[in-house]
């Protein structure tokens, strides 16, 4: 994994940087990421060092061997790190782009495909920003703000849900996100389809979202969703490619980008789907419960 990240990092840094863009801040891959206190995972190097000490103690002392039998086995650590971070301010515009990378999966094909995708997304975003800057006339201000990063939404024994987001401000603001949810035990990428027995879930979830939209609008007049049946822009329903994730409570969350289901001032919106609505449709309760 370290070699793969190093190769990807070198590829990233091959992107030509215009002379006027002069502040590239990159994450040092050889730095060990800080562990998260709330998760309580050991850094791999520390775990390896501890294992060496324990092994030496066992060879020397039978008492140490007995004590070691009571110590839990160190499990594999799947984590998300900041692969590279780039910051720039120019022509009254700014961009901050953080690229995540997943490490610790034994399924290297999955790990590499996700990391390649994350890198490709960041490179494309970088290119779009620099292209917009290059089109400015001398003395013209871009007035663009781009911030891209990631959030670990869920990280437990079963799943890892990661959100990559991009907030863009240019005359108006918008937020776009993509989500990946990984089954950590079986090391597979979960899709919406894979969670259900058949495609009836599409209609059930869509109807529940419409109900939530109407209820929220009735309770709060400042909330507006495009849900009226006679409106050509109305939300018709989700499809199998709908953005989703599974939260820490084991609930399915359906996510929409800005302008997908509501006016721009509402921003990105999400709906937690009650599990009782889905229980007969799920293939199992290991993920959603």
Residues 105 and 15 reside in one and the same domain: yes
**Residue 117 sits in the same domain as residue 178:** yes
| 167 and 246, same domain (yes or no) | no
Predicted confidence at residue 241, as pLDDT, reads: 95
161 and 243 both lie in a single domain? no
Is residue 180 in a domain? yes
Pick from 233, 279, 238: nearest CA to 255: 238
Would residue 77 count as lying in a domain? no
3-class secondary-structure state, position 49: helix
CATH of the domain at 245: 3.90.640.20
Examine residue 96 and state whether it is found in any structural domain, yes or no.
Answer: yes
Report the percentage of the chain scoring pLDDT > 70.
72
* Interatomic CA distance for residues 115 and 102, integer angstroms: 7
Same domain, 104 and 17: yes
Q: Answer yes or no: is 75 within a domain.
A: no
Q: Which CATH number do you get for residue 176? A: 3.30.565.40
pTM of the entire predicted model: 0.74
Among 137, 164, 189, give the residue marking a domain's end.
189
What average pLDDT does this structure show over 31-36?
40
DSSP state of 283: S
Residue 115 lies in a domain: yes
- Residues 171 and 237 placed together within one structural domain of the fold: no
Range of the domain at 112: 2-28+82-189
Examine the domain organization and report whether 24 and 132 are in the same domain: yes
More confident residue, 214 or 19: 214
Boundary-marking domain end, from 134, 163, 189: 189
Residues 91 and 232 in one domain: no
Same domain, 16 and 140: yes
Cα 103 to Cα 84: distance, rounded to the nearest angstrom: 14
Domain edge (last residue) among 132, 167, 189: 189
Cα dihedral 202, 227, 262, 271 sign:
negative
Residue 9 has pLDDT above 70, yes or no: no
Give yes or no for residue 191 having a pLDDT over 90: yes
Q: Cα(14)–Cα(131) distance, rounded to whole angstroms?
A: 17
Is the confidence at residue 235, as pLDDT, over 80? yes
Same-domain check for residues 172 and 215: no
Position 143 scores a pLDDT of 86
Is pLDDT larger for residue 142 or for residue 207?
207
Domain count across the chain: 2
Number of H helices, E strands in the chain: 6, 9
Do 182 and 262 share a domain, yes or no?
Answer: no
Which residues, 6 or more positions from 195, have their beta carbon under 8 angstroms from its beta carbon? Answer: 201, 252, 282, 283, 287, 288
For residue 234, the model assigns a pLDDT of 80
Average pLDDT of the residues in 257-264: 92
Give residue-wise pLDDT tens across range 192-224. Answer: 999 999 999 999 999 999 999 999 999 999 999
10 and 139 inside one domain: yes
Give me 157's structure tokens. Answer: 């024994």
């Amino acid at each position: 994994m370290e070699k793969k990240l190093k190769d990807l990092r070198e590829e990233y840094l091959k992107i030509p940087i215009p002379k006027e863009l002069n502040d590239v801040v990159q994450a040092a891959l050889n730095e060990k990421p800080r562990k998260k206190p709330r998760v309580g995972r050991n850094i791999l190097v520390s775990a390896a060092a501890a294992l060496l000490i324990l092994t030496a103690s066992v060879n020397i002392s039978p008492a140490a061997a007995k004590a070691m039998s009571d110590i839990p086995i160190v499990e594999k650590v799947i984590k998300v790190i900041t692969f590279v971070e780039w910051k720039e301010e120019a022509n009254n515009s700014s961009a901050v782009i953080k690229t995540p990378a997943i490490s610790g999966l034994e399924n290297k094909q999955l790990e590499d495909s996700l990391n390649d995708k994350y890198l490709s997304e960041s490179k494309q975003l970088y290119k779009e920003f620099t292209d917009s800057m290059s089109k400015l006339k001398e003395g013209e201000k871009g007035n663009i703000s781009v911030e891209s990063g990631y959030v670990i939404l869920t990280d437990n024994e079963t799943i890892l849900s990661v959100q990559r987001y991009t907030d863009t401000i240019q005359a108006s603001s918008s937020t776009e996100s993509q989500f990946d949810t990984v089954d950590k035990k079986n090391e597979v990428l979960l899709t919406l389809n894979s969670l259900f027995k058949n495609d009836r879930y599409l209609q059930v979830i869509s109807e529940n979202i419409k109900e939530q939209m109407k209820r929220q609008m009735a309770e709060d007049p400042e909330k507006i969703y495009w849900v009226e049946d006679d409106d050509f822009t109305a939300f018709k329903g989700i499809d199998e490619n709908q953005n989703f994730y599974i939260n820490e409570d084991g609930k399915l969350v359906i996510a929409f980008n800005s302008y997908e289901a509501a006016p721009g001032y509402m921003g990105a919106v999400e709906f937690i789907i009650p599990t009782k609505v889905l229980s007969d449709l799920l293939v199992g309760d290991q993920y959603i419960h």
